[in-house]
């Protein structure tokens, strides 16, 4: 509305078996594009006519655009994350040593690929299913560690930024992701969860004096990048930010 574009952004719940039919229907109805979320990001990538190189490497898309009858898939989660880190902490992702928890999930994979693309000074991957972290680490020339408190403790001593890409922390009853005593004031801690706005991890990190950021900035920037894909113009970032507040 702010840009006076006579279109709507609406939510649709699509069952996994209906994804292909839904994409055909949105093409027929002359949608400009779509954002795709859980659980469709991988399946949608396989239904695209074209993927950009980054989305192809990840094997998952969150942003689709219809272009002269072709369905083009992109992944704006990764670049949205890089912009979020720059905005939250005033530093470029590439200069940081990063520990990523939940590297095997949809968002985690996109973030891992983005860290590799940014040539992070160090990239350490952890995932509950450890084979996923090992496979991805091999692909990205990163380091994989065990999903254990001891492994987290050693890794934390040698990183600048810790990222939670698991859903752990969405519920009050969730066990703590990292032992609070391991968190230090010189760490940057980013949780991609945005509901609640302050997870236990962020609370513990703030209590330790660390700088913290939550997933609202990533949500904002992946959305702004999607807007740019659909409309070939800069996104009204401040209006979008205010809408999320």
Question: Considering only residues 70, 119, 128, 184, which one is a binding residue for ligand NAP as defined by CB under 6 A?
Answer: 128
Nearer to ligand NAP, 33 or 79 (CB): 79
> Contact at 8 Å (CB) between 91 and 85?
yes
Binding footprint of ligand NAP, residue count (CB under 6 A):
24
Contact at 8 Å (CB) between 48 and 64? Answer: yes
Q: Which is nearer to ligand NAP, 27 or 179 (CB)?
A: 179
Among 73, 78, 79, 108, binds ligand NAP (CB under 6 A): 108
Q: Are 62 and 113 in contact (CB under 8 A)?
A: no
Using CB under 6 A, which of 168, 187, 189, 212 touches ligand NAP?
168
Q: Is 213 in the site for ligand NAP (CB under 6 A)?
A: no
Under a CB-based contact definition with an 8 Å cutoff, are residues 222 and 230 in contact?
A: no
**Options 33, 78, 106, 213; binder of ligand NAP; rule CB under 6 A:** 106
- Which range binds ligand NAP by CB under 6 A, 3-11, 162-170, 199-207, 236-244? 162-170
Residue for token digits 């994350």? Answer: 81
Beta-strand (E) ranges in 20-176?
A: 33-35, 50-51, 63-67, 70-74, 97-101, 122-126, 143-144, 161-164
Output 51 or 163, the one with its CB closest to ligand NAP. Answer: 163
Q: Which is nearer to ligand NAP, 120 or 165 (CB)?
A: 165
Contact (Cβ atoms closer than 8 angstroms) between residue 210 and residue 189: yes
Least CB distance to ligand NAP at residue 50 (A):
23
Task: Tell me the residue ranges of DSSP E strands in the chain.
Answer: 33-35, 50-51, 63-67, 70-74, 97-101, 122-126, 143-144, 161-164, 188-191, 211-214
Q: Residue 217 has which token pair? A: 């900035």
Q: Going by DSSP bridges, is the β-strand pair 97-101/122-126 parallel, antiparallel, or unpaired?
A: parallel
In the complex, what is the shortest distance from the CB of residue 87 to ligand NAP, in angstroms, rounded to a whole number? 13
Stretch near ligand NAP under the rule CB under 6 A, chosen from 3-11, 47-55, 124-132, 228-236: 124-132
Considering the complex, state which of residue 121 and residue 147 has its C-beta at the smaller distance from ligand NAP: 147
Catalytic (active site) residue 41: yes
Q: Is 99 in the site for ligand NAP (CB under 6 A)?
A: no
Asked if 132 interacts with ligand NAP (CB under 6 A), we say: yes
Whole-number Å distance between alpha carbons of 219 and 138: 28
Cα–Cα nearest to 125, from 75, 181, 57, 110? 110
Provide the annotated active-site residues. Answer: 41
Residues contributing to the site for ligand NAP (CB under 6 A):
38, 77, 102, 104-108, 127-129, 132, 165-168, 170, 192-194, 215, 218-219, 222
């Amino acid at each position: 509305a702010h840009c006076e574009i006579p279109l709507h952004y609406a939510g649709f719940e699509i069952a996994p078996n209906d994804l292909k039919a839904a994409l055909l229907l949105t093409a027929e109805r002359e949608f400009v594009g779509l954002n795709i979320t859980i659980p469709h990001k991988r399946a949608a990538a396989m239904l695209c006519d074209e993927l950009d190189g980054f989305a192809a490497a990840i094997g998952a898309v969150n942003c689709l655009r219809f272009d002269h009858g072709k369905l083009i898939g992109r992944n704006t989660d990764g670049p949205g994350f890089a912009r979020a880190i720059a905005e939250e902490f005033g530093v470029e992702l590439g200069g940081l040593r990063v520990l990523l928890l939940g590297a095997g999930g949809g968002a985690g994979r996109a973030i891992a690929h983005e860290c590799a693309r940014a040539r992070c000074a160090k990239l350490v991957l952890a995932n509950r299913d450890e084979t996923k972290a090992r496979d991805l680490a091999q692909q990205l020339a990163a380091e994989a560690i065990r999903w254990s408190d001891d492994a987290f403790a050693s890794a934390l001593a040698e990183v600048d930024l810790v990222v939670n890409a698991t859903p752990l922390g969405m519920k009050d009853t969730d066990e703590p992701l990292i032992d609070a005593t391991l968190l230090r004031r010189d760490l940057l801690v980013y949780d991609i969860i945005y509901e609640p706005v302050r997870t236990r991890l962020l609370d513990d990190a703030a209590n330790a004096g660390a700088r913290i950021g939550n997933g609202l900035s990533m949500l904002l920037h992946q959305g702004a990048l999607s807007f740019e894909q659909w409309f070939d113009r800069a996104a009204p970032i401040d209006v979008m930010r205010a809408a999320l507040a």
